[in-house]
Amino acid sequence: MRYNNNDKLKTLGPRAAHLVTTLYEQNKPVFRLKEVQKILHLDEASSRNFVRKLVNRGVVTRLKPGLFILVPFEMGKECEYIGNPLIAAREIMGGKAYYLSHGTAMEIHGMVTQPQLVVYVTTLKPRRPVNTLGVEFRFIHSQKKLFFGLSDYWATKQEKVRVSDLERTIIGGLKHPEYCGGLTEVAKGLWIRHQDMNISRLIKYAVKSDVGAVIRRLGFLLELYKIGTSKDCELLRPYLTETYVRLDPLLPSEGKFLRKWRLKLNVSPEELLYAVRT
């Protein structure tokens, strides 16, 4: 990517103009202090001070300590700018293992009808949430053995991010509906994309997740929505124990018991069927 707006570059001063031009030429609109040090041959303290001035002038936005993004000139100096939140999430991870998951993955895969206000990122180590310019990045800790079913997604024409694939996104949502707006939203997502789902893969992922609640909820929803065959559902039943779990863990423990899937139906089948018709 090359930046050629000479008139506007002149207003920055030679050192800042050199930094901005070089970062764009290196395709690094999101950058760290080490890049500033390398390009301008400054020590860490001087680099930090220099970037702080650029932030104050609206040339750069601070995503988190030590991580910044260039603000496109055409947006003006008064504009708060975070760039593409999916790429920002990748850069916040700084090369560590991650994938975009839950409500964010559902939005990427076209499983939601409402825009998501939080960017969900699954990571190998616990991390505190990051709030930048009205965007919240929330990090969900996971074991390494559960880092499966991932794919690349082109967030822009040049930039890729890691995301749970279609089936893995459903499994993640069934395990943690709280990061997707509740069980009903996960069910709607399953229905919206059910014709594109690989049912064998979905069942394999559920078993691999080794979470009884996931297996129960998946079996119930596949049967309710008549997704796949009765044989598909039967593949899940050997993994059931006698324990009952709530269909939606976010809602009170009320409603009927369903022995076949060892579920407490605190969301009625009628509600779930109605949800996908509206």
pLDDT, position 74: 61
pLDDT, position 135: 84
Query: Is 266:253 a contact under the CB 8 Å cutoff?
Result: yes
Contact residues for 224 (Cβ-Cβ < 8 A; gap 6+): 269, 272, 273
CA nearest neighbour of 15 among 41, 33, 43, 35: 41
Q: Which residue ranges make up each domain of the chain? A: 6-75, 83-164, 192-278
* Sign of the C-alpha dihedral computed for residues 180, 186, 191 and 196 taken in this order: positive
Query: Is 134:120 a contact under the CB 8 Å cutoff?
Result: no
Q: Cβ–Cβ contacts within 10 Å for residue 256, how many?
A: 11
Q: Cβ–Cβ contacts within 10 Å for residue 253, how many?
A: 10
pTM: 0.77
Angle at 206 between CA 205 and CA 209, to 5 degrees: 80
Out of 3.40.50.10490, 3.40.50.720, 2.60.120.10, 1.10.10.10, the CATH code matching 6-75 is 1.10.10.10
Per-residue pLDDT of the chain (278 residues; tens, 9 = 90+): 444 445 455 567 888 888 888 888 888 888 899 999 999 998 988 999 999 888 888 888 888 888 888 887 665 554 566 678 999 899 899 899 999 999 999 999 999 988 788 999 999 999 999 887 778 999 999 999 999 999 999 998 888 999 999 999 999 999 999 999 999 999 999 999 999 999 999 999 999 999 999 999 999 999 999 999 989 999 999 999 999 999 999 999 999 999 999 999 999 999 999 999 87
pLDDT, position 2: 41
pLDDT, position 30: 85
Q: Tell me, what DSSP letter sits at residue 60?
A: E
pLDDT, position 79: 54
Angle at 269 between CA 264 and CA 271, to 5 degrees: 115
pLDDT, position 159: 86
- Give CA separation, 203 vs 105, 122, 125, 210, 221, in Å: 19, 21, 27, 11, 12
Reduced to 3 states, what is the DSSP secondary structure of residue 276? coil
* Burial class of residue 220, CB neighbours in 10 A (0-12, 13-18, 19+): buried
In which residue are the tokens 């002149």 written?
Answer: 10
pLDDT, position 214: 98
